[in-house]
Amino acid sequence: MTRRRLALVGAVLLAAACVERLTAPGHCPDFCPSGQITVVDTLLTTSINRDSAYRGYVVSYQSPVMLAAFLPDTTGTLDGRPIFRFNGFGPRLPISSVDTGQILGADSARLQLYIVRRDTATHNLRLQFYRLPTTIDTTTTFDAVAAPFTNAPVRTVNVDTLLAQPGGKDTVTGDSVVVDAVNHRWLLSLKFDTAAARYVGTDSGAVAYGIRVAADTLASIAFGKGSVGPVLQWYLRVDSLGMPVARKPGILGTTLANFVFTPPTAPLDSTLAVGGVPSARSLLRVAFPKFIRDSSQIIRGTLFLVPAVAARGAPADSFVMEARTVLADFGRKSPIDARLDDPIVIHPGAMDTIKIEVTNMLQLWAADTTHPTVFLLRPQAEAQYFGEIHFYPSKAALRPTLQITYVKQFPFGVP
Amino acid sequence: MRPAVGIAVVAMTLLTASPRDLSAQDSQFGIRGLGTPGRWESVRARSSGGAFAPFDALSPLMEAPLADISTLTATAAGGTSHRDAQLGDTITQLRATRFPLMGVAGRVAPRLVVAGGFTTYLDRSWDVTLRDSTVLRGELERYRDEITSDGSVGDIRLAAASRLSRRLAIGAGIHILAGSTRMTAERRFDDSTFHAVGQVAEVRYDGFGVSGSVLIGVAPGLTIAGWARADNRLRAQVGDSTVALTDLPRMAGAGLLLAPSPRVRFAGSAAWRSWSNAGPGAFDTWSWSAGAEFGSGRMPIRLGVRGGQLPFGPGTKAPTEFAASAGTGRAFAQGRALIDLGVERLERRGGILTERVWTVLVGLTVRP
């Protein structure tokens, strides 16, 4: 029985050792700890230096879209034209398992292409298709194909008119449009007649087209590439022992999908450029103060950038610029640290000071003192917008600045 | 149900049962200061207001009473406090469960008893939340702070006592102060653009003290006691850095025990502590107590009151406290095991803060 009693006493003492914990409201300063959390806000005006801009990371033919625009402006017209090429089947086509026949020509063809980005404010959107030389390639410039674009278009399509048709189908022209509300894109299926879809067997059957866009306002759209790129279905006539027979070969994808534009991108100057085609990036090197890095906790960091000129680009094509940091500072070839990014939307035409929250990166620099203290500015979707912005560099009066809010070390242990 | 089992079950129920919204926290008067001083009393002494502490061998207040211990004795105590802290019109319910006392003593020579153990010197557990705002980047930003401290400074005592004569016993002890607190400071802004702040530190404390005491039998049934103690300083360290050195108080006290019969005992005591050494916001304190114990050693009834001052508080006057307590005890196994139970109602006042505390105490003493 004595053991039982002692066990009970032990249980009592064990229960007594348990502690519950919640909180109580403080009434300062009388009933608060003497130490307080101290927040300091500082503007670093000279900590960003040795900045530089580089261009050429993503060029037009590497872009996942083909940009089309026609935007007259007081300073010039932004004119972007997709160009693409399909290789053909050559001069002959199989007509049976053992025989081939001479391709006599094409009855017609059906071109399918996706509009993957558009401005909902655009009205009366028209597409004009031009036949281009099949010699176009990734180095083709706007001027190089200017002449073919002066010819009469092989097809003209009014997308708004087509959308207004029942079911999006024009029974007269054979065109149709399907609205993909989920992916926010339009699939255009256009019928090219014999004249528009001329099959030249002696030229291997290759065909190239270019597109110009027009609208009442804001003519700026993007066509898809790759899996959502243009495809061509030929309807051919093939000679079979002196008799022409119809053949429908397989669908062809593009062997080149690119876009050309004017005015050409201006060469880099002393400003910090971000965006454009080919895409430009800028590096900003930060002298991160040791007193912040070593003995404080950063709760907010904001990078201030003053545009040197209004952001260029199609008015509707606001683009996202992101600030990142790099794993190593190798100048233009600095590998990007993919862990953190802080984005901000750039609106063409705006001259407002850009404020980017870079708290996460500053905290990373404070935690890892071996990490390069470099900001890299780049467009989130490189070469997918004409938009480009230029900021004042560190040698200018309106240089980039960094505002940091941090908390000092709490005075633990001080009564 | 047997009485012993019943007592244990009741004690466990009292210690563990609590409303959901209570929290662990020592006196809020100790937040702005070194902490809340512990009470160097066994459950038996505390149940009688602390008046018997100078004469109680199991209370670590004095060493001289150890001289009367005849066999190896070990003791421990636990207590749960239910606290209402009233700040203006706001009442917050808090709860703390502590294990503030453990000791062992035994005779090593015919005239020499030694003892070792620990008790709480300063309790430093609290959790404060604060809602406020500040102007940052030209905007008023609201935030919520939470600053916590969890831990205490313990008093590890090594003591020796000797009865020099039938009327005179003396004792002395050395005190090693050691402990740590885990402190956190957090701030969360309503505007999530400002990231939350969280800082943590382990603060270690150390110090040293010496004490001496004397017990004099003036006449049959009348005993007086006196004691004094000096501690040097409390050093607080974070990592390898000393962040604070705080002078600790000197203290002295005296007590009177009157036992007109074996079944009736009265006691009173008083103590002074120079806590103002600790710096601004600290006060010297006086405390007093009076109590009585009725009945045999098998199941006595204890009553007591105490009052005095607290060393830390706002303003220019030390906060005050007053408590009334009661308790009993029960011996088992031919007196080899003792359970003491006590309950205390305490009120502390200082500035706009009033604390009202119910404390349930359980003590266990074993004489193998």
When pLDDT is cut at 50, 70 and 90, the band that residue B27 belongs to is confident
Same-domain status, A122 and A251: yes
Q: Does B153 touch chain A (CB under 8 A)?
A: no
Same-domain status, A99 and A185: yes
Shortest alpha-carbon distance between residue B297 and chain A (Å): 19
Q: Does B349 touch chain A (CB under 8 A)?
A: no
- Mark yes or no for CB contact A9/B337 under 8 Å: yes
Beta strands at B301-309 and B285-294: parallel, antiparallel or unpaired: antiparallel
Residue at A256: amino acid letter: L
Q: Is B6 part of any domain?
A: no
Q: Which of B25, B36, B92, B130 to mutate to test the interface with A (most CBs of A within 10 A)?
A: B130
Residue A344's closest CA among A374, A298, A375, A299? A375
Residue at A302: amino acid letter: T
CATH number of the domain at A398, please. Answer: 2.60.120
Checking if the pLDDT of B22 tops 60, the result is no
Q: Is B352 part of any domain?
A: yes
Is residue A327 a contact partner of residue A372, using CB atoms and an 8 Å limit?
Answer: yes
Checking if the pLDDT of B178 tops 70, the result is yes
φ, ψ for residue B311 (rounded to 5)? -80, -20
Same-domain status, A343 and A375: yes
Q: Which of A6, A18, A37, A43 to mutate to test the interface with B (most CBs of B within 10 A)?
A: A37
Which of A25, A30, A403 shows the shortest C-beta gap to B314?
A30
Supply the pLDDT for residue A3.
59
Q: Is B10 part of any domain?
A: no
Task: For residues A78-100, give the mean pLDDT.
Answer: 91
Residues with Cβ within 8 Å of B89's Cβ and at least 6 positions away in sequence, in order, are none
Q: Which residues does chain B have within 8 Å of residue A405's beta carbon, measured at their own beta carbons?
A: 136-137, 194
Q: Looking at A22-36, B54-68, B327-341, B348-362, which range is the least confident one?
A: A22-36
Checking if the pLDDT of A6 tops 60, the result is no
Q: Looking at A131-140, A301-310, B84-93, B306-315, which range is the least confident one?
A: B84-93
Q: Which residues does chain B have within 8 Å of residue A18's beta carbon, measured at their own beta carbons?
A: 16, 97
Residue at A340: amino acid letter: L
Question: In the predicted model, what is the mean pLDDT of chain B?
Answer: 90
Domain boundary among A237, A262, A287: A262
Which of B79, B337, B353 shows the shortest C-beta gap to A31?
B353
Range of the domain at B79: 23-366
Shortest alpha-carbon distance between residue A65 and chain B (Å): 34
SS3 B22: coil
What is the C-alpha separation between A236 and A252, in angstroms, rounded? 13
Shortest alpha-carbon distance between residue A406 and chain B (Å): 9
Tens digit of each residue's pLDDT (9 = 90 or more) over B281-303: 899 999 999 999 999 767 899 99
Domain boundary among A262, A296, A314: A262
φ, ψ for residue B11 (rounded to 5)? -60, -45
Which of B5, B11, B127 shows the shortest C-beta gap to A21?
B127
φ, ψ for residue A291 (rounded to 5)? -70, -25
Domain boundary among A227, A262, A297: A262
**Residue % of chain A over a pLDDT of 90:** 72
Rounded to two decimals, the ipTM of the complex is: 0.81
Checking if the pLDDT of A189 tops 90, the result is yes
Tens digit of each residue's pLDDT (9 = 90 or more) over B252-270: 999 999 999 989 999 999 9
Q: Is A388 part of any domain?
A: yes
When pLDDT is cut at 50, 70 and 90, the band that residue A24 belongs to is low
Place of tokens 């003892």: B115
Domain count, chain A: 2
Question: In the predicted model, what is the mean pLDDT of chain A?
Answer: 90
Q: Does B12 touch chain A (CB under 8 A)?
A: yes
Supply the pLDDT for residue B5.
47
CATH number of the domain at B176, please. Answer: 2.40.160.60
Same-domain status, A253 and A368: no
Is residue B347 a contact partner of residue B331, using CB atoms and an 8 Å limit?
Answer: no
Same-domain status, A47 and A71: no
What is the C-alpha separation between B102 and A17, in angstroms, rounded? 13
Task: For residues B63-91, give the mean pLDDT.
Answer: 92
Would residue B12 be called left, alpha or beta, if left means φ above 0 and alpha means ψ between -120 and 50 degrees? alpha
Task: For residues A89-111, give the mean pLDDT.
Answer: 90
Number of residues that this document lists for chain B? 368
Same-domain status, A232 and A93: yes
Same-domain status, A70 and A48: no
Q: What is the DSSP letter of A160?
A: H
Q: Is B104 part of any domain?
A: yes
- Mark yes or no for CB contact B187/A407 under 8 Å: yes
Same-domain status, A250 and A333: no
Same-domain status, A320 and A303: yes
Q: Which residues does chain B have within 8 Å of residue A20's beta carbon, measured at their own beta carbons?
A: 18, 22-24, 95, 97
Same-domain status, A66 and A52: no
Cite the beta strand spans of A20-132 per DSSP E.
Answer: 24-25, 39-44, 48-55, 65-73, 76-86, 92-94, 100-117, 126-132
Task: For residues A290-319, give the mean pLDDT.
Answer: 89
Range of the domain at A318: 39-58+278-408
DSSP per-residue codes, B201-243: EEEEEEEEEEEEEEEEEEETTEEEEEEEEEE-EEEEEETTEEE
Q: What per-residue string of b and e applies to A223-256 under the rule 16 or more CB within 10 Å gives b? A: bbbeebbbbbbbbbbbbbeeeeeebebeebbbeb
Task: For residues B18-33, give the mean pLDDT.
Answer: 60
Q: Which of B195, B332, B339, B366 to mutate to test the interface with A (most CBs of A within 10 A)?
A: B195
- Mark yes or no for CB contact B128/A18 under 8 Å: no
**Residue % of chain A over a pLDDT of 70:** 93
List the single residue in B with minimal CA-CA distance to A359: B195
- Mark yes or no for CB contact B24/A24 under 8 Å: no
Residue A406 burial by CB count (10 A; 0-12/13-18/19+): exposed, middle or buried? buried
SS3 A31: coil
- Mark yes or no for CB contact A413/B193 under 8 Å: no
Task: For residues A389-414, give the mean pLDDT.
Answer: 94
Q: Does B76 touch chain A (CB under 8 A)?
A: yes
Checking if the pLDDT of B19 tops 80, the result is no
Task: For residues A262-281, give the mean pLDDT.
Answer: 93
Q: Does B55 touch chain A (CB under 8 A)?
A: no
Q: Which of B34, B123, B126, B128 to mutate to test the interface with A (most CBs of A within 10 A)?
A: B128
Which of B5, B128, B136 shows the shortest C-beta gap to A32?
B128
Supply the pLDDT for residue A25.
67
Which of A17, A35, A300 shows the shortest C-beta gap to B78?
A17
Checking if the pLDDT of B11 tops 50, the result is no
Supply the pLDDT for residue B14.
42
- Mark yes or no for CB contact A16/B79 under 8 Å: yes
Distance in Å from the first CA to the final CA of chain B: 26
Tens digit of each residue's pLDDT (9 = 90 or more) over A222-258: 999 999 999 999 999 999 888 999 999 999 999 999 9
**Residue % of chain B over a pLDDT of 90:** 77
Domain count, chain B: 1
φ, ψ for residue B155 (rounded to 5)? -115, 105
- Mark yes or no for CB contact B8/A9 under 8 Å: yes
Interface of B with A in 109-148 (CB under 8 A): 126-132, 134, 136-137, 145-148
Number of residues that this document lists for chain A? 415
Task: For residues A47-56, give the mean pLDDT.
Answer: 93
Q: Is A230 part of any domain?
A: yes
Q: Is B11 part of any domain?
A: no
Residue at B211: amino acid letter: S
Q: Does B244 touch chain A (CB under 8 A)?
A: yes
Same-domain status, A307 and A391: yes
Q: Is A325 part of any domain?
A: yes
Supply the pLDDT for residue B67.
96
Same-domain status, A241 and A355: no
Supply the pLDDT for residue A7.
54
Q: Which residues does chain A have within 8 Å of residue B194's beta carbon, measured at their own beta carbons?
A: 299-300, 405
